[in-house]
Amino acid sequence: MSFSIICNVGDIPPLIRSSGQKGPTHSPLCSTTMAINIQPETLSQQQISGEPIVNDFAIMVATKNGSGSQTSNSLIVNALFRMGIPVNGKNLFPSNIKGLPTWYTIRVSKDGYTARRANTEIVVALNQDTAAEDIANLPEGGVCIIPTEWKWGQSRPDIIYYEIPVKDIIKKSEIAADFRDRVANMVYVGVVAHLFGIPMDVLWNSLLDNFKGKEKPAKMNFNVLELAYQWSVENLQKKDHYSFAPMNENEGKIMITGNEAAAIGALFGGLTLAAWYPITPSTSLIDAVLTYQHIRKDPDTGKNTVAVVQAEDEIAAIGMLVGAGWAGARAMTATSGPGISLMAEFTGLAYFAEIPFVVWDVTRMGPSTGLPTRTSQGDLLFTYFLGHGDSRQVCLLPGSVEECFEFGWRAFDVAEALQTPVFVLSDLDLGMNDWMAQPFEYPDEPINRGKVLDEAKLNEFIEKYGKWGRYLDVDGDAVPYRTLPGIDHAFGSYFARGTGHNPMAVYSERGSDWVENMERLHNKIESARKIAPQPVIDYTPSKPIGIISFGSNDPAIQEVRDLLSAEGIESNYLRVRALPLAESVKEFMFNHERVYVVENNFDGQLCQILRLENAADTRHVFSLALGDSLPMTPTWLFSKIMTQEQK
């Protein structure tokens, strides 16, 4: 089956790798004191000795929100990616007011690490409100790039300053006054390109990509960039030891956000309705559905087969999902914690009436409005037990953009197989930031619509069992058979009840009917332990400690395991990919002397679930939960594990 979604960007490979087989057609007000709290790291031997440091450092660009920095920051990341250097960019931006501080960190790692660094060696200080703290956070031997016109001075003799005349360069570019503020950040791009070694032709091609081949805006930006580069060549003497050098580590890879990957996966999974209400950080997921919905156009009529509806609020959005799922559509929404709160009652209805749909929770920092533009894993417990009364929800937990794509389509299969809502818990870091990835694997299995009866199958069912009831469990697996509206059969209709009912979908207040139904629902959700994605496990019996985590903590854990190994501490690792927990999680937990449960929330919610579901002694299980609103760093995690191991 061929696809038109070949999203080449220059020499960047296609998003989807096809195996050739037929698959699914399927904020509160902030002050200027909100600078990033940088944790000090031990200086490397290279930093101490002054040896060249190549492709192993981080840059932080400090600007003001709304200043056009997104284009310049993305330009550098794209250029470094094209140079074959493993790179990751993370955006820390304010929630609601133009002009407030924004930081963007760019990490390059010759070893392929992509976790957030606890410190940055280079700061591009373009925001006077935070410059003092940004400069103070630099390590010894660090680099500060700062505008000349600020007349800031050089208060730290242990770092290197490069002063650049931003306004003079912009004035020399003869850019129209209306556009000067938008392109001013290109000055720092030109200086960075000269000082640290980014070829100009790579930057030009990256600009063309950014503006989708439109040469006029690309040339306007490149003109400023080129002037800054030339000024830097003529006026700055390189005094630091940091540089970029071409590598060949990104061949065949793509760069994409988790939200984009999720949207494409959902379209591959047969999405027909996306009903939503905008909320950070999930909005770009639905934006991506709109961008890529052309891949689902009817080939004969050219009409869209996917409806995208912006509802008046989150309650209306999930109400649409309930109706669409009942009618047989593959329906989804994307939201975050506050939206999940509003969706609780309709979720309970869908759980009890057994209606499938998918909800993406791109988690941000709560409670309440919290920090809307910061990342978190704090919705885990809330979503798992969402709804009043005795209910649990199936939750999928992607840990990479590849899994965001996979769970985009697989969530529909799980929802329809179990006839229940399925929640996919991503987060702001995974969802909104750019990540390197392998091209996505084309789904290797056909769509699973679950137990759906058409007219012929309903006749066969009645002939075999004597009757059909919507909640009748004839297979003993706790999953009944359903019909869809419009079935041409006298016995094919039923009431999808949120009230007490018996197996025939008849209203009932009998205690025995209630208990029988709740036992079946319990058993059905229990079966998700085998149906939902299984954990990723790296296990060797001789290793004494185990690490359990989920989601976007994975890059930090991969790196910290190498750091621990260098100290002679070998570890096993299990990454949970779904709730309820697979049986292998319990086995892993009790096969180690010590287990560290790592998560990016305040209360250690996954650790609580592990203890809740395992009555045996869990004193060897330690919760390492941070929840500081930022992506997890290997530095923090290494410190916590080493402290415990040395006791």
Supply the CATH number for residue 313's domain.
Answer: 3.40.50.970
- Cβ–Cβ < 8 Å for 612, 585: no
- What pLDDT score was predicted for residue 11? 35
Instruction: Look over the chain and give the mean of its residue pLDDT values, rounded to a whole number.
Output: 92
**Within a domain: 549:** yes
Residue for token pair 């791109």: 362
**How far does the chain reach from its first CA to its final CA, in angstroms?**
58
Q: Tell me the per-residue pLDDT of 534-589, one tens digit each, with 9 for 90 and over.
A: 999 999 999 999 999 999 999 999 999 999 999 999 999 999 999 999 999 999 99
How far is CA 491 from each of CA 39, 356, 455, rounded to the nearest angstrom? Answer: 66, 22, 10
Closest CA to 191 of 214, 149, 168, 224: 224
Residues 234 and 346 in one domain: no
- Please identify, among 530, 554, 586, the residue that sits at the C-terminal boundary of a domain: 530
**Confidence check: pLDDT of 54 > 60:** yes
Check residue 199 and give its pLDDT: 98
Tokens representing 102 are: 């924004």
**What pLDDT is stored for residue 248 in this prediction?**
97
Question: Does 36 have pLDDT greater than 60?
Answer: no
pLDDT digits (tens, 9 = 90+) for 582-616: 999 999 999 999 999 999 999 999 999 999 999 88
- The pLDDT value recorded for residue 44 is 57
CATH number for the domain harbouring residue 586: 3.40.50.920
Q: What is the structure's pLDDT at 48?
A: 56
pLDDT at site 180: 84
Looking at the predicted structure, is the pLDDT value of residue 221 above 90? Answer: yes
Question: With 60 as the cut, is the pLDDT of residue 235 above it?
Answer: yes
HSE on the CB side for 500, CA within 13 Å?
A: 9
- Helix residue spans in 354-451 (DSSP H): 380-384, 401-418, 428-432
Place of tokens 């087969």: 305
The token duo for 441 is 């694997």
Chain position carrying tokens 């992607």: 398
Q: Are 254 and 437 in contact (CB under 8 A)?
A: yes
Residues 514 and 540 occupy one common structural domain: no
Number of domains in the chain: 4
Residue 18 has pLDDT above 60, yes or no: no
- Whether the pTM exceeds 0.85: the reply is yes
pLDDT in the model for residue 53 = 97
Q: What Å distances lie between residue 497 and 140, 348, 506, 520, CA to CA?
A: 66, 11, 8, 16
Three-class SS state of 317: helix
Q: Do residue 100 and residue 189 come from a single domain?
A: yes
- Dump pLDDT digits (tens) for 146-194: 999 999 999 899 999 999 999 999 999 888 888 888 889 999 999 999 9
* Number of residues written out for the chain: 647
Same-domain status, 65 and 190: yes
On whether both 287 and 230 belong to a single domain, the answer is: no
Final residue of a structural domain among 515, 530, 545: 530
pLDDT at 66: 78
Query: CA–CA separation, 641 vs 597, rounded Å?
Result: 10
How does residue 474 score in pLDDT terms, banded at 50, 70 and 90? very high
Both 64 and 154 in a single domain?
yes
Contact 64, 143 (CB under 8 A): no
Q: Are residues 283 and 340 in the same domain?
A: yes
Cα 624 from chain centroid (whole Å): 21
- For residue 378, CA distances in Å to 77, 363, 366, 504, 644 come to 29, 7, 7, 39, 24
| Contact in structure between 203 and 193 (CB atoms under 8 Å) | yes
Residue 444's pLDDT band (cuts 50, 70, 90): confident
Give the CATH number, domain containing residue 59.
Answer: 3.40.920.10
Contact yes or no for 275/306 (Cβ under 8 A):
no
Is 290 a member of any domain? yes
Residue bearing the bigger pLDDT, 43 or 224:
224
Enter the tokens of residue 336: 């975050």
Tokens of 171: 């004035």
pLDDT higher than threshold 50 for residue 37: no
pLDDT in tens, 451-472: 999 999 999 999 999 999 999 9
Residues paired with residue 167 on neighbouring β-strands, in sequence order: none
Facing residues of 423 across strands? 359, 395
Query: Region 403-412: what's the mean pLDDT?
Result: 98
* 3-state DSSP of 291-302: HHHHHHCCCCCC
Question: Could you tell me the pLDDT band of residue 43, with boundaries at 50, 70 and 90?
Answer: low
Give pLDDT, residue 49: 58
Clarify whether residues 176 and 238 are in a common domain: yes
Does any domain span residue 25? Answer: no
Q: Is position 638 within any domain?
A: yes
**Dihedral (Cα; 561, 563, 569, 570), 10-degree rounding:** 30
Q: Are residues 59 and 187 in the same domain?
A: yes
Same domain, 76 and 217: yes
Given pLDDT bands bounded at 50, 70 and 90, which one contains residue 34? very low
pLDDT value at residue 42: 53
* Same domain for 553 and 526: no
Q: Is the pLDDT of residue 293 over 70?
A: yes
What are the start-end ranges of the E strands in 501-593?
536-538, 545-550, 571-576, 578-579
On whether the CB atoms of residues 381 and 423 are closer than 8 A, the answer is no
Q: Are residues 230 and 317 in the same domain?
A: no
Q: Where are the alpha helices (DSSP H) in 83-213?
A: 131-136, 166-172, 177-183, 186-196, 200-210
Whole-number percent of the chain with pLDDT over 70 = 92
Residue 1, in any domain of the structure: no
User: Residue 178: its pLDDT value, please?
Assistant: 81
Domain end position, chosen among 441, 470, 499: 441
In a domain, 630, yes or no: yes
pLDDT tens-digit series, residues 345-394: 999 999 999 999 999 999 999 999 999 999 999 999 999 999 999 999 99
31 falls within a domain: no
Q: Which residues constitute the domain of residue 490?
A: 455-530
- Decide if pLDDT at 523 tops 50: yes
pLDDT digits (tens, 9 = 90+) for 72-110: 999 999 999 999 999 999 999 888 767 789 999 999 999
Tell me, yes or no, whether 14 lies in a domain. no
